[in-house]
Amino acid sequence: MESKPRIVFLIPIASARRAKDWRLACALFKQTLSSILNSNSQNYCVVVAGHEPPDFQPPQDPRFKFLSLDHALPSLEHGYWLAAVKDKMIKLAAAWTYAKSAWNPQYVMKLDWDDLVSSRLVDWLVSAEDEAGYLIKHGWIWRSGGRLFIQRTEQFDRVCGSCLIIRGDLADQTGPFLTEVEGAMLDEAGSRFAAGDHYSLLPGAGTGTLLLNDCHQRYAAQFAYLGHRLATVPFHAAVCRLGHGNNAGIQSRAETARMFLGRIRRTRMLTPSLRKEFMLG
């Protein structure tokens, strides 16, 4: 591995005390790691942060680090999802602090513990220009356990947080990036704006860093606020896994007839090449 790897993947994993099915969660997380280890280029490192180690032997690799954290789990008083996001941000902060100290990577990517990345992603990034950041707009949505079909999307960043690669020297820059998603208190006008506009910065938003927020639909606006252009990864680079039941408390919108027809149009066969590229089980 290079002394300064091209990218670090930061993976916060939920506590066994909050996972609906810890055994299944570990199996999904193992598959996420497999997708990274399947990368064509080895110019990466991985930091995983969690309360409990997974129930399998983690990779014995100098590029891999598991951080065992012991902070109190955020209260469920205001709902499961807000508590989960707060826990994720604490773990991401610890993982990023470790990565900077140990490797000082050129780029950083937040990766949810149940999502998957393309075997081509690291290799592509190695030869890419040193842009401020890259957004994954082209990706796949996979119903967990689906054996035959997968859904293509050109709006991956709207549905999945595993969509942003940030240049390391910009990750700690701050701006009005925190919203009610992270627990920031907005006034009535700010809340109305948030409900009607999912892509702009919010009036009254709290101050946070480019890395430590969960507003993935607003990433382009955040980069623009800091005076940087957010480029796009030019291929389908990640898989968002849905439907495995471990994200208890997340409510899905009722599917309209138009949404159903659109999903059918975007459905593709799950080919052997896709299985190999993303380590789809």
pLDDT digits (tens, 9 = 90+) for 72-101: 999 999 899 999 999 999 999 999 999 999
Which residues are CB-neighbours of 106 under 8 A, at least 6 positions away? 4, 5, 6, 7, 130, 167, 168
**Is residue 257 very low, low, confident or very high in pLDDT (cuts 50, 70, 90)?**
low
Instruction: Find the angle CA(232)-CA(235)-CA(239) to the nearest 5 degrees.
Output: 100
The pLDDT tens digits of the residues spanning 118-146 come to 999 999 999 999 999 999 999 999 987 67
What is the pLDDT averaged over residues 49-69? 95
**pLDDT at residue 23, rounded to an integer:** 95
215 closest CA partner among 182, 170, 264, 240: 182
> Measuring CA to CA, how many Å separate 57 from each of 12, 26, 38, 61, 126?
17, 11, 17, 11, 29
Give CA 162 to chain center in angstroms: 2
Which pair of tokens denotes residue 201?
Answer: 């910065």
At residue 253, does pLDDT exceed 80?
Answer: no
- pTM equals 0.92
CATH of domain 7-247+255-278: 3.90.550
Distance of alpha carbon 104 from alpha carbon 96, whole angstroms = 9
For tokens 């940087």, the residue is 228
The pLDDT tens digits of the residues spanning 201-224 come to 999 999 999 999 999 999 999 999
Distance of alpha carbon 126 from alpha carbon 96, whole angstroms = 20
Measured between alpha carbons, how far apart are the two ends of the chain, in Å? 28
Lowest mean pLDDT among 42-56, 204-218, 259-273: 259-273
Instruction: Find the angle CA(13)-CA(242)-CA(266) to the nearest 5 degrees.
Output: 140
Distance of alpha carbon 66 from alpha carbon 165, whole angstroms = 21
For tokens 């507003």, the residue is 215
Is residue 96 within 8 Å of 211, Cβ to Cβ? yes
> Measuring CA to CA, how many Å separate 154 from each of 14, 76, 217, 240?
28, 34, 13, 13
Q: What rounded mean pLDDT belongs to the chain?
A: 92
Which pair of tokens denotes residue 134?
Answer: 């890259």
